[in-house]
Amino acid sequence: MGRPDRNGDGSVHDEPHFAPPGADGRADPESAATEEPEPNELVGDEPALKWQWADGGAALSFQEYALRQRARAPFWAPWATALLAALAAGPAAGVLTFAQYIFFGGALPFLAALDPLSILHAAVIGPVIEEAAKVACLLWLVERKPWLLPGPAAIYAVGLAGGLGFGFLENLLYIHVYVPDMDPSLAAWRWNVTMPLHGAWSLLAAVGAARIWKNVIEQGRGPDLTLAFPWITAAIILHGLYNAGALVLGQFFGS
């Protein structure tokens, strides 16, 4: 017995093998493979936010969840958070920098001689630790609690303030601890050049943090820390080049 005619007209489309893609209600496998993912990923897809699933947020998109949390927070909370983050970034990085000083027994290697260890420390180890520490608080916030930051402008301000705060504390360490007999012209250079540069490097890294914030709040996607890596890497490279140049110039032209 032949197959029943669904349309009653003997059409070729009654044969599944000749039916156009999607005619039977099923997705075309080829188009499904190239289909763009939904922009609103769920909070439940992010393990870092697992502790927040209990309040029903797991079924919400990141954007919906962030907007809900922002509506629940006091109006002053984002600005207070930004202020606290700015105040904490500098001291946090300063503590790590001083820890390097303690680790090397009270004498940073690049202050003594021009050798491979000194170059490695000044151009790589120091910049990686400092730039990462200066934006660590920002990165934690944009990944875990982006609704507690007002927006990209505040993130840039936090990055800049954190860098300047760190530069201020680092100068105090250099002038009063590392090199207590520092030449006044070198001290002036550190206040007028090095400290602003720390602010600029942190501002560059903060651009990456702002991209993560926009990815969640404006585009509704999950927090993606890799969005910040190119900007933080750029800050580390610029910081390392400056340190290496200062190291070489200090050895050849220092008194």
**If you search the block for the tokens 């983050």, which residue do you land on?**
85
Dihedrals phi, psi of 106, to nearest 5 degrees: 85, 15
Measured distance CA(42)–CA(57) in Å, rounded: 9
pLDDT of residue 193: 95
pLDDT value at position 212?
A: 94
The pLDDT of residue 192 is 96
- The confidence score (pLDDT) of residue 57 equals 52
Taking CA atoms, 105 is separated from 91, 109, 156, 212, 243, in Å, by 21, 10, 36, 39, 21
Task: Output phi, psi for 239, to 5 deg.
Answer: -65, -45
Whole-structure pTM value: 0.74
The set of residues, in sequence order, having a beta carbon less than 8 Å from that of 105 and lying 6+ positions away, is none
91-118 pLDDT per residue, tens: 887 787 777 767 765 555 555 566 777 7
Residue 39 φ/ψ, nearest 5 degrees? -70, -25
Per-residue pLDDT of the chain (255 residues; tens, 9 = 90+): 555 555 555 554 455 544 555 555 454 544 444 444 454 455 555 555 554 544 555 567 777 888 888 888 888 998 999 999 988 888 887 787 777 767 765 555 555 566 777 778 888 988 998 999 899 999 999 988 998 999 999 999 999 999 999 999 989 988 888 788 888 998 999 999 999 999 999 999 999 999 999 998 888 888 889 999 999 999 999 999 998 888 877 666 654
DSSP annotation of 19 reads S
Q: Give the list of residues 6+ apart from residue 162 with CB closer than 8 angstroms, or none.
A: 85, 86, 88, 89, 90, 93, 134, 135, 137, 138, 202
What 3-state DSSP class applies to 20? coil
pLDDT of residue 104: 61
pLDDT of 7: 52
